[in-house]
Chain A
Amino acid sequence: MDNCDTVDSNGHPWLGRLVKVGLFLLAQGIAVLLVSFVALLVSFAPGWSATIEQASLLQPGDAKSGSLLLKEDGAYTQAIRLGIDVDITVSGPTLRTRVTQIFRNPTKDWVEATYVYPLATDGAVDTLKMVVGDRVIVGDIRERQQARAIYEQARRNGQKAALTEQERPNIFTNSVANIGPGETVLVQIEYQEPVHQSGNEYSLRVPLVVGPRYNPAPIVQSVDFRKDGSGWGATSSDPVPDRDRISPPVLDPANTSPNSAPINPTSITVHLKAGFALGEVKSHHHNVKIESPDNTTHVVTLADGTVPADRDFELTWKPVAEKAPSVGLFREHVGDADYLLAFVTPPSAEQATQKPLPREVVFVIDNSGSMGGTSIEQAKASLLYALGRLQPNDRFNVIRFDDTMDALFPTSVPADIAHIGEATSFVSTLQARGGTEMVPAMRAALTDTIGDTNMVRQIVFLTDGAIGNEQQLFETITAMRGRSRIFMVGIGSAPNTYLMTRASELGRGAFTHIGSVEQVEERMRGLFAKLENPAVTGLTAKFSEAKADVTPAIIPDIYRDEPLVLAAKLDKLAGSLEIKGRVGDRPWSVTLPLQNAAEGKGLSKLWARRKIGDAEVARTLREMTPEDTDKTILALALDHQIVTRLTSLVAVDKTPSRPEGQPLKLSELPINLPAGWDFAKMFGERPQLTPTQLRERRADAGQPAARRPAPVAPDAIRLPKTATAAALKMIAGLIMIVLALILFVFNRRQHLLTDAA
């Protein structure tokens, strides 16, 4: 004890007491504060830890899009801007499209931009041009890895470079390196495509946006053993190995103010030279202006100048005469070979003489989240229409799927009034939600339980095809198709046309596209005409003199109003082409003299593109080994200068532009949500607009499926309580012990003091 204290307590005993009591109260106060602070933490814990940790736990693979946007302060106004100009020239049976993408960099940094964009499924991309200032750099076709290496090299050297890669037959990526501050770079690609014909209607379609795809989570590394029992097999793991590459960030429409400039503004011009006098010309989803400088040419432009790239552009035209020409023959001479493109519309059989076979129809409807908005309405309307068209002696079933699936009936039932009524109410209550697990639904639809060979088995599959594991679906169809025929109905403003075409090709059916509610009835009527009328079967094509490499090698059955489209490479243009087949039960044949073929453009590329498609199909059907397929594709692609999954176009500006030492920032360009899609349905609730949450939103958008979607099972398992009070008890116990110690020390000190006194 020091002196002062003693004196103090001697002099003013009550004062000392008071000080001690005060100190005690202070200690108590601190303890209470401590306890309440802990309590506060406890009560807040679920809130903060859920948001922060969940993000890091659930999206392991999305650091790319997430960190990217952080650099840009979460604001897209800072990011690179893009304008798109589409210029299409239709000349007879083919069309050539030039897509110009204008990359403008308003930032103060050097930027590398990547843009994921769709193209027509059967388009052959053969030209890449990059315009920097007044210089035009033309791209070369290279093997994909090699092209990538060239591009990376140029990127590091600070040279401007552009790279066009194919991600899917209908999804491409353009990367542009070293766009300087305030600079504008034009990237131009061109592709060749056949005109689509159905009945007397001709059409073209320009996909303008890649709908966000549902990429199933890696499920299991499965082993596929070869069928020959040799014991050798291959493993396949992730159903969508390239999920990062086809999942660009998507803009939430709610975040873009209506007054701001549209994202990815697009202008479209079509020069229409059909080769015959034109009747009705119609754009289905855009307002257009149509001018005709002369009789054979029409120029179609968008009425509003530019539109946001959020829906497919569809243009149809009809000849002025009642009936479209039923035959078209076009040729092109390239190198030492002649290429031929033939369109033949078989006559439709008189149905009156034939009683249609009873059918078993399985309707499959996609009610996943991507179908939200108007798509599900179109799908429901289509299905309801289809149900109404069934005949009493038909059998049918309805399967709906998202990431779960339900079959309405355990097996197909007669289409009587009671069953139809049940199906109608089942369909009417469907709502769009959840992921898109298409494979199990396709498997269920293909399971042929009745096996009645007197009935025609047809599957009508309504979907937007917004999945990334197309190959898995194709393999399912190949393995299980049996005698079923698959008719795909593409729904919405931006369906995955590649999936639809290939699936209906493998399923020996047809593909119909419905882009708006108004189109439902007309298109479904067309589809039913196909379903109800006998197809043209057993088709063969024979050239009398020329040696020909024909694609498709095995000609598929043709449905009503569809033309047979043949492409062939010939050693000489002589003799004739004879096509034989059966319309219903009657033989049919037609002979086309090759001398009458008209000059066409880009036919060789179309032929090569179709050969490549054939090779891919052969691989899916296991008729060709993957190595042989790759070899065939590579040879065709390099020969004909087209972009495939194995070849890319790359253009490099020889003069370096980015000064050494200046950093290069990467900018992934956002895409619009396809029109009619519901953002909340796709990516969950809208967050408050703070920068961090914006980042999470992007992360979410990039990876909608890496997280296993929670299927809505009615009899879901209830999980037990799995937290003990151990931590709580131990913390409370510790606090009390500490308090007791403090008290004890105070008492002891007081004791000593009084003793001393």
Chain B
Amino acid sequence: MPRLIFPLALAVIGTILFGDGAYIHAKAWLAQVLLERAFDRSVATGRPVKPWSWADTWPVARIEVKRIGASAIVLSGTSGQALAFGPGHINETVDAGERGVAVYAAHRDTHFRFLRDVTIGDVIDVTRSDGERFRYRADSSSVVRFDASGIDPATQDFELVLATCWPFDAVTSGPERYLLHAILIDERD
């Protein structure tokens, strides 16, 4: 059956490739489930809790946009590893709720897919791992190059920036990033 070998091989490679892609999504989804648990424990205990024993990162915050029912657990750091599991908090920036800009970045095709639906004026809730809750309002968006983000870490305001790749529908990665700027409007326990 040599004639069948070529299509079979093609089918196998195709399946592997497809599976590989699907795996990224599966991993992103599954990780969020595990992270959700770790985060809840973290809030309860007040200490960083690793989602699984070999993880090199831990959840630091939960972002929610109630209007579109989106929610994601943010991890510390933005290594490629961390970003596969959830949005990452860029370590050079402040924590949510502090003076300055807190920057969270995530993949446009997984955790921050919902950013395209967030419109100016939407309320973004951020819960920190210490249980503090902050309410932000999206006030502008911009498209920048990754190395010229224009984010001013020394700003006097309380800001939040959600960053992801731009454009949303592209298949390959490019230099442009989409930034959603939000500003603290309310602080609650």
A, B from the same assembly: yes
Distance of A743 Cα from B13 Cα, bound (Å)? 14
Give the residue among A57, A404, A744 with the most B Cβ atoms within 10 A. Answer: A57
Cβ-neighbour of A724 out of B109, B144, B152, B154 (below 8 A): B109
Residues 104-145 of B contacting A (Cβ, < 8 Å): 105-110, 112, 119-120, 137, 139-144
Distance of A220 Cα from B139 Cα, bound (Å)? 9
Contacts A50-B176, A404-B152, A733-B19; A717 near B169 (Cβ below 8 A): no
Would you call A739 and B18 a contact (CB within 8 A)?
A: no
Contacts A727-B171, A728-B21; A708 near B142 (Cβ below 8 A): yes
Note all chain A residues with C-beta closer than 8 A to B78.
Answer: 720
- The segment from A41-49, A95-103, A305-313 that touches chain B is A41-49
Residues 688-738 of A contacting B (Cβ, < 8 Å): 706-713, 715-738
Would you call B20 and A42 a contact (CB within 8 A)?
A: no
Note all chain A residues with C-beta closer than 8 A to B164.
Answer: 722
Instruction: Answer whether residue A655 sits at the interface, using C-beta atoms and an 8 A cutoff.
Output: no
CB distance from B20 to the nearest CB of A (A): 5
Instruction: Answer whether residue B55 sits at the interface, using C-beta atoms and an 8 A cutoff.
Output: no
Note all chain A residues with C-beta closer than 8 A to B149.
Answer: 710, 716-719
Would you call A737 and B11 a contact (CB within 8 A)?
A: yes
Note all chain B residues with C-beta closer than 8 A to A710.
Answer: 142, 144, 148-150
Cβ-neighbour of B20 out of A217, A707, A723, A729 (below 8 A): A729
Distance of A440 Cα from B103 Cα, bound (Å)? 23
Give the residue among A53, A54, A723 with the most B Cβ atoms within 10 A. Answer: A723
Cβ-neighbour of B170 out of A46, A60, A221 (below 8 A): A46
Would you call A724 and B110 a contact (CB within 8 A)?
A: yes
Note all chain A residues with C-beta closer than 8 A to B173.
Answer: 721-723, 725
Distance of A60 Cα from B120 Cα, bound (Å)? 8
For A737, the closest partner residue in chain B by CB is: B14
Q: Interface readout for A45-79 with B: 1 if CB under 8 Å, 0 if not? A: 11001100110011010000000000000000000
Note all chain B residues with C-beta closer than 8 A to A404.
Answer: 152
Would you call B167 and A727 a contact (CB within 8 A)?
A: no
Distance of A721 Cα from B81 Cα, bound (Å)? 12
Would you call A219 and B183 a contact (CB within 8 A)?
A: yes
Give the residue among A60, A404, A737 with the most B Cβ atoms within 10 A. Answer: A737
Q: Secondary structure of the A side of the interface? A: helix
Instruction: Answer whether residue B44 sits at the interface, using C-beta atoms and an 8 A cutoff.
Output: no
Cβ-neighbour of A715 out of B16, B119, B153, B174 (below 8 A): B153
Would you call A726 and B24 a contact (CB within 8 A)?
A: yes
- Residue total for A at the interface (Cβ-Cβ under 8 A): 58
Would you call B10 and A722 a contact (CB within 8 A)?
A: no
Would you call B172 and A717 a contact (CB within 8 A)?
A: no
For A218, the closest partner residue in chain B by CB is: B139
Would you call B93 and A722 a contact (CB within 8 A)?
A: no
Would you call B21 and A747 a contact (CB within 8 A)?
A: no
Distance of A57 Cα from B118 Cα, bound (Å)? 10
Note all chain A residues with C-beta closer than 8 A to B177.
Answer: 719, 722
Instruction: Answer whether residue B72 sits at the interface, using C-beta atoms and an 8 A cutoff.
Output: no
Note all chain A residues with C-beta closer than 8 A to B169.
Answer: 45, 49
For B180, the closest partner residue in chain A by CB is: A57
Residues 59-93 of B contacting A (Cβ, < 8 Å): 78, 80, 83-84, 88, 90, 92-93
Would you call B143 and A50 a contact (CB within 8 A)?
A: yes
For A742, the closest partner residue in chain B by CB is: B7
Instruction: Answer whether residue B15 sits at the interface, using C-beta atoms and an 8 A cutoff.
Output: yes
Would you call A58 and B168 a contact (CB within 8 A)?
A: no
Distance of A49 Cα from B3 Cα, bound (Å)? 43
Note all chain A residues with C-beta closer than 8 A to B167.
Answer: 45-46, 49-50, 53
Cβ-neighbour of B139 out of A708, A718, A744 (below 8 A): A708
Instruction: Answer whether residue B151 sits at the interface, using C-beta atoms and an 8 A cutoff.
Output: yes
Would you call A220 and B183 a contact (CB within 8 A)?
A: yes
Would you call A744 and B7 a contact (CB within 8 A)?
A: yes
Note all chain B residues with C-beta closer than 8 A to A219.
Answer: 139, 157, 183
Would you call B140 and A734 a contact (CB within 8 A)?
A: no
Would you call A722 and B140 a contact (CB within 8 A)?
A: no
For A709, the closest partner residue in chain B by CB is: B150
Contacts A217-B139, A723-B165, A727-B109; A42 near B170 (Cβ below 8 A): yes
Instruction: Answer whether residue A25 sits at the interface, using C-beta atoms and an 8 A cutoff.
Output: no
Contacts A720-B83, A734-B14; A46 near B21 (Cβ below 8 A): no
Which residues of A approach B to under 8 Å, CB–CB? 41-43, 45-46, 49-50, 53-54, 57-58, 60, 217-221, 404, 440, 706-713, 715-741, 743-744, 747, 750
Can you offer 27 A-B residue contacts whose CB atoms are under 8 A? A42-B170, A43-B172, A45-B170, A45-B172, A46-B167, A49-B167, A49-B168, A50-B166, A220-B137, A709-B150, A717-B92, A720-B105, A721-B165, A722-B165, A725-B21, A725-B173, A726-B22, A726-B24, A726-B25, A726-B109, A728-B171, A730-B18, A734-B14, A737-B18, A739-B10, A741-B11, A750-B3
Which residues of B approach A to under 8 Å, CB–CB? 3-4, 6-8, 10-11, 13-22, 24-25, 78, 80, 83-84, 88, 90, 92-93, 101, 103, 105-110, 112, 119-120, 137, 139-144, 146-154, 156-158, 163-174, 176-177, 181, 183-185
A716-B149, A728-B172, A737-B14 known; 5 other A-B pairs, CB under 8 Å?
A54-B143, A722-B177, A726-B24, A740-B11, A741-B11
